[in-house]
Structure 1
Amino acid sequence: MNKRTITERDLRFLHTFCAAAEAGGFAAAEGRLHMTKATISRQIKEVEENLGVTLCSRGPQGFELTEAGKTALKYAKEALDALDRIVPQLDAMRGVISGKLRIGITDNLLGNPSAKISQALTRLKKEAPEVEFSLYTLTTHELVESLRTRRLDIIIKGIHPGQEIKSFNYTKLFGEKHFICYSPQDNCEVSEMSLVFREKHPFVEDAIANYGFKVGPVVSGMESVATLISTGLFAGILPEQYSAMLSSVFPLEQIPDTPEYNVNHFAVTNADYPLTPASEAFVKLLIEEHQGVE
């Protein structure tokens, strides 16, 4: 029986396989890899032939990992990650910070004067020019899953009490105020407004339970909340800086005698894996830039 070995060529093609698996198919991975579907398929097929297993099924029902593919994905990601760490770790030994840094954030943070993410990125570029960072704006669920599966190194997001995940580390950075808003227009009465509903949102649940609001249309994302508020027919909960920006577009006010909600934003990392030198440097800069910020 021939002993199967992993070649340098296999490692390159395993990277292709991991990207296709994370993207959910060949077509979705084309842009990420800058390859055609035919090239992606050919590379994965070659790895399958060398390993002697089928890694994924392709057909009318779409892309799906086999059990062997799930196992290969787990260990391939660990191996590729270890290889990616070699040069940055050696660079760190001689005082140079290098490597890739993948950062994820939630939407609409730029207008918050307490958020100093831009300042931290500016310092990172100046103080560690060898670091190649990328920045992604994702939903809360996407951020958590990307950090859990190591597609991101650091995420910055608001965390409500009780939402902490045991396998994550949290570093508090800044706070954010939220208000129950409406758009005063001729065709509406505040007392008759229902509240735009976002599932599993603590502020929305509190407003409905304790302030007499009825459940309004179900939405996802702040842009959808703001759009419904702009009709003058619904109330909704928005961050202070986002509502201030929108007030120049349409009339927008806080509903009198309603609470002010606060949520803290954290830099979050995966505690199951050691931080890279680039991640450590960026967390340190975030802490320094947010000192004294509430």
Structure 2
Amino acid sequence: MSRRETLAQVSDFDIRLLRVFRSVVESGGFSAAENVLGIGRSAISQQMSDLEQRLGLRLCQRGRAGFSLTEEGREVYQSSLRLLGAMETFRTEVNGLHQHLRGELNIGLTDNLVTVPHMRITHALAQLKDRGPDVRIQIRMIAPNQVEQGVLDGSLNIGVVPQASPLPGLEYQTLYSERSLLYCAVGHPLFYADDTYIEEARLDSQDAIAPTFRLPADVQASYQRLNCTASASDREGMAFLILTGRYIGYLPDHYAQSWVQQGRLRALKPSQRFHDLNLAWVTRKGRRPNLVLESFIESLSQAR
């Protein structure tokens, strides 16, 4: 066979032919390789010819005298073992990265989600730690607009925020829904009042607290009817003001529950004055591949 120019690159087709060549050599000939490869002798012969043509080398002698490798064939066989072995090592190591995650997860959370009964975030963080014991998890408890800004500028990998109108450049996925009730605290004039006798006008005239973070239009309507004379950037700030006994305001029921059980808060007209709000996890559109982040999102999607 005539010599040819140096092989420019090794293609997927070449890899397939080299695998056939290895099986033929290790089986001791074309006929013996039929059962190993699951193809007929003529197909094997054709693929061997294709490989020889591709390499510009005669790899073996075949005929009545039987199968034998040429000197070039022995060298190509040894080289193919190193190549295919390196590919298998690469595959194993890459798959190992999925099982042994490394890196960090920077997550921004709206405050007071830890009391949500579903605990999907907690469960997902636990699974991430199990899969990647060396992963560094950094949590920032900040206002929703800061969470979204952090995801946009890349300082956060992912965030959880109340789901309002989406910002360009971000992707939102609903995580769960929470119900908020209208509360007052001990010391407020309405704390011991019977709901039946609290007139709507009187309720709407009380000093109330409005959040400064973005909310859906239907939730905003709950605040528009109140006499909002104070504001807060997060739910903890709202709780501080409500607990003064001087303001009324909406809080998630799971967050207010401990104070209700202590007799420090009560819900006003809970069957009428409430709103439901979806919380969503948010990521940046077109983000770079990140195994730690994708693993956390996978766990977050599956957690219940």
TM over 0.5: yes
Question: Could you give the per-residue CA deviations for residues 69-119 of structure 1, whole angstroms, max 9, x where no partner exists?
Answer: xxxxxxxxxxxxxxxxxxxx9997233132222111111111110232111
Q: What SS class does the counterpart of residue 98 from structure 1 fall into?
A: coil
Once residues 207 and 194 of structure 1 are traced to their aligned partners in structure 2, the CA distance between those partners, rounded to angstroms, is: 14
The residue that corresponds to 1:205 in the other structure is: 220
Answer whether contact 1:91 1:98 (CA < 8 A) is retained. no
The residue that corresponds to 2:15 in the other structure is: none
Unpaired stretches in structure 2, ≥5 consecutive residues: 1-89
- Report the CA distance between 1:235 and its aligned residue: 0.9
Once residues 259 and 210 of structure 2 are traced to their aligned partners in structure 1, the CA distance between those partners, rounded to angstroms, is: 19
- Report the CA distance between 1:153 and its aligned residue: 0.7
Q: What value does the CA root-mean-square deviation take over the aligned residues?
A: 2.6
CA, structure 1 residues 204+287, in 2 after alignment: closer, same or farther (shift >3 Å)?
Answer: closer
Query: Identity percentage over the alignment?
Result: 21
Answer whether contact 2:188 2:247 (CA < 8 A) is retained. no
Unpaired stretches in structure 1, ≥5 consecutive residues: 1-88
The residue that corresponds to 1:289 in the other structure is: 303
Find 1:263's aligned residue among 255, 271, 277.
277
The residue that corresponds to 1:158 in the other structure is: 162
Answer whether contact 2:181 2:250 (CA < 8 A) is retained. yes
Once residues 91 and 218 of structure 1 are traced to their aligned partners in structure 2, the CA distance between those partners, rounded to angstroms, is: 55
Q: What SS class does the counterpart of residue 275 from structure 1 fall into?
A: coil
Answer whether contact 1:198 1:204 (CA < 8 A) is retained. no
Matched, 1:277 2:278: no
- Name the TM-score, length of structure 2 as normaliser: 0.58
Give the counterpart letter for 1:231 in structure 2: T
- Report the CA distance between 1:133 and its aligned residue: 2.2
Q: What SS class does the counterpart of residue 148 from structure 1 fall into?
A: helix
Matches within 5 A, 1:1-294: 93-96=94-97, 97-160=101-164, 163-183=165-185, 185=187, 187-188=189-190, 191=202, 192-199=205-212, 200-202=214-216, 205-209=220-224, 212-256=225-269, 258-290=272-304
Give the counterpart letter for 2:301 in structure 1: I
CA, structure 1 residues 186+172, in 2 after alignment: closer, same or farther (shift >3 Å)?
Answer: closer
Give the counterpart letter for 1:262 in structure 2: D
Once residues 126 and 219 of structure 1 are traced to their aligned partners in structure 2, the CA distance between those partners, rounded to angstroms, is: 37
- Report the CA distance between 1:151 and its aligned residue: 0.5
Q: What SS class does the counterpart of residue 103 from structure 2 fall into?
A: strand
Once residues 115 and 181 of structure 2 are traced to their aligned partners in structure 1, the CA distance between those partners, rounded to angstroms, is: 16
Give the counterpart letter for 2:123 in structure 1: Q
Once residues 274 and 210 of structure 2 are traced to their aligned partners in structure 1, the CA distance between those partners, rounded to angstroms, is: 17
Question: Could you give the per-residue CA deviations for residues 259-283 of structure 1, whole angstroms, max 9, x where no partner exists?
Answer: 3211112221111322301111100
Answer whether contact 1:114 1:175 (CA < 8 A) is retained. no
CA, structure 1 residues 90+244, in 2 after alignment: closer, same or farther (shift >3 Å)?
Answer: farther
Answer whether contact 2:105 2:135 (CA < 8 A) is retained. yes
CA, structure 1 residues 215+135, in 2 after alignment: closer, same or farther (shift >3 Å)?
Answer: closer
Answer whether contact 2:184 2:268 (CA < 8 A) is retained. yes
Q: Which has the larger radius of gyration?
A: 2
Answer whether contact 1:180 1:238 (CA < 8 A) is retained. yes
Once residues 242 and 144 of structure 1 are traced to their aligned partners in structure 2, the CA distance between those partners, rounded to angstroms, is: 22
Once residues 119 and 271 of structure 1 are traced to their aligned partners in structure 2, the CA distance between those partners, rounded to angstroms, is: 25
- Report the CA distance between 1:252 and its aligned residue: 1.4
